[in-house]
Amino acid sequence: MVAAPRALRALAGILPALAAGAAHASLFAGEALDQVADIIAIVVLIVVPVVVIVAFWLIHILPEKIAEKRHHPQKGAIQTLCLLSLFFGGLLWPLAWLWAYTRPVAYRMAYGTDKHEDYFTEHAEKAKQGELLSAELEHLRGELDSMSARGQLPPELMALRDDLDALRAAKGSAA
């Protein structure tokens, strides 16, 4: 009685092995196999290295993009550090990443602001278009005044400050 189930189990294990067909190494044969191999070789030799280099480059410019987004006043130096990091195999990249996220406290003490000049230019354009709230406009004007009081206001920002004064005067006369 016990021998019959064992024999059935052995037969159930052997039948699928006997029913299997011949194994094939590839879906393709002859010329099609050569053509597929050529395409794979081209992809591996040309496309993959280009994709890897572009991905490596895009990752290495992330600190620069972060510095631009945050209007970091030293974004030019961060960009240079990112480029140097490419040549030194990525060793300087963590420093660029940290630098992009730091608040330049000493820079603010020295120059009266912790923003790049682009920040003021962008906000002045928004003010000219009427997209800036009056509180934001006063804050921008206050920062430019504090920079001017320290004698650290570049000529471009001095002209921008005059434009903001004219804009405030125009709003005052309209009200």
Pair 111, 103: CB distance under 8 Å: no
| Predicted confidence (pLDDT) at residue 23 exceeds the cutoff of 80 | no
Q: What does the alpha-carbon distance between residue 59 and residue 83 come to, in Å, rounded to a whole number? A: 12
Q: What does the alpha-carbon distance between residue 119 and residue 116 come to, in Å, rounded to a whole number? A: 6
Region 92-111: mean pLDDT is 84
How far, CA to CA in Å, does 88 sit from each of 58, 59, 76, 125, 142?
16, 15, 18, 39, 42
pTM for the complete prediction?
0.61
Pseudo-torsion of CA 165, 74, 152, 150, nearest 10°? 100
Res. 2 pLDDT band, cuts 50 70 90: low
pLDDT per residue over 36-91, tens digit each? 999 999 999 999 999 999 998 899 899 999 999 988 888 999 999 999 998 888 89
